[in-house]
Chains A and B, each alone.
Chain A
């Protein structure tokens, strides 16, 4: 068992409680540590308070609004946070949003209904492992 300080920390920003619950459980099952936020404001507070965040899991629609793009733009403009990898897991349909996010520099974009939770979590594990060994 790893020391909890060594665990990678994922900040999940998702406003739908049932989905957040599933994501948290799945991530924790694979040995990751989870912080959560249901608004981008909460997420900012989490980022400021947490000792470290290794990766951000971001939903696109949050309470019917679309603050995700703006939030990513802010992160990417901030020297403290711009290197944190971002995985967008969105329920927006159509590839227009995907292109917008990739342009802003997010690392991966998933359509929620098109992917198994397992696959996204595996991709995160792999991504962090590759990053660690660089």
Chain B
């Protein structure tokens, strides 16, 4: 028992016990290093309130926290912004574990908190770097684009067939680089969490129809390839149009790109309202009869930079970032994304939006 005590007292992270109402019963010395309050000062006070280091996260956060640990009796894990005794802010990662007796009654809470302010700063610096690098890349990419474009359109005289074929490769390579840089920039924006989700009530059909038109791999005049089953009654929902369109374009592009041949290609988009994992949701389905995702690779499909083996063969120039970006975005707005797929038959992707609308997320940035 003595060893356990020494371990807890010596822990670098702060360790705190509180009764079922959140009154602090014990705090180890690390609490002073992290929050500025001594263990003695915090005893008997309510954890995570304005009186101490908390209260900055807004009501929904604390409601969710208390529901999880007290009502559902589950562990709460997450990042939180707090305020030290001297008024400075810090970022923390914490876990709050409800400790139950044999009968499942709540005895007390155990909270462990780690100061991650420095890690967050390093993270921000990395993102800043990616963002600056991408700006730097944009100027030379523009020069390659515009000069090859002018050469190709004969602005400075005619080209031989071979010359124009080679130039087209340069032009397409540069276009591919532009897409890659945009994807990287979006990843860095999403990963630092600064992306704004700003839902406003909107009709869904026009957003879907526009997304089909704006998808880069849907050729102009061939929009009919992608069939959209308009709902009988227009659905109105609070959505961030830009983000929804970003995800849809990505799914549509994948559906159109990873196909066998264009002659019998079918892509269908349909809407449905139902409960998904206890949340009343609008489910958007994008189904294709393309190459499918091999079973052995399905569990990796949302990973950053991962591309299925058959996708790499069909189109050499994907970044492997589209589905990762889509998943991150969908989860930011409080939705889910999943798929059903059979290799050689096709894939159906499902994306949900809560019928109460997308979750608002504070942020100063939008996606590219």
Contacts and interface: CB of A to CB of B under 8 A. Distances in A.
Interface of A: 16, 18-19, 22-23, 25-26, 29, 61, 91-96, 112-114, 116-118
Given A16-B139, A25-B155, A92-B135, A117 B146 contact: yes
A42 B365 CA distance: 32
A29 B155 contact: yes
21 contacts: A18-B147, A23-B146, A25-B150, A61-B135, A93-B135, A93-B138, A93-B368, A94-B185, A94-B368, A95-B242, A96-B364, A112-B142, A113-B138, A113-B141, A113-B145, A113-B178, A113-B181, A116-B145, A117-B150, A118-B149, A118-B153
B355 to A, nearest CB: 28
Contacts of A116: 145-146, 149
Q: Which of A18, A94, A116: most chain B Cβ within 10 A?
A: A94
A26 B150 contact: yes
B85 to A, nearest CB: 36
Interface residues of B, number: 27
A87 to B, nearest CB: 15
A114 B178 contact: yes
Nearest to A30: B155
A94 B156 CA distance: 33
Interface of B: 131, 134-135, 138-139, 141-143, 145-147, 149-150, 153, 155-156, 178, 181-182, 185, 189, 242, 364-368
B155 A93 contact: no
A98 B134 CA distance: 17
B155 A96 contact: no
A67 to B, nearest CB: 16
Given A25-B155, A113-B145, A114-B178, A19 B139 contact: yes
A18 B368 contact: no
A130 B181 CA distance: 36
B149 A91 contact: no
A97 B368 CA distance: 11
Contacts of A16: 139, 143
A52 B163 CA distance: 41
Given A19-B143, A96-B366, A91 B150 contact: no
A134 to B, nearest CB: 30
Contact of A22 (B147, B178, B364): B147
A95 B189 CA distance: 13
Contacts of B142: 19, 91, 112-113
Given A22-B147, A93-B138, 18 more contacts: A16-B139, A19-B143, A22-B150, A25-B150, A25-B156, A26-B155, A29-B155, A93-B182, A93-B368, A94-B185, A94-B365, A95-B242, A96-B365, A112-B142, A113-B142, A116-B145, A117-B150, A118-B153
Contacts of B138: 91, 93, 112-113
Contacts of B182: 93
B139 A91 contact: yes
A93 B146 contact: no
B146 A22 contact: yes
Nearest to A116: B149
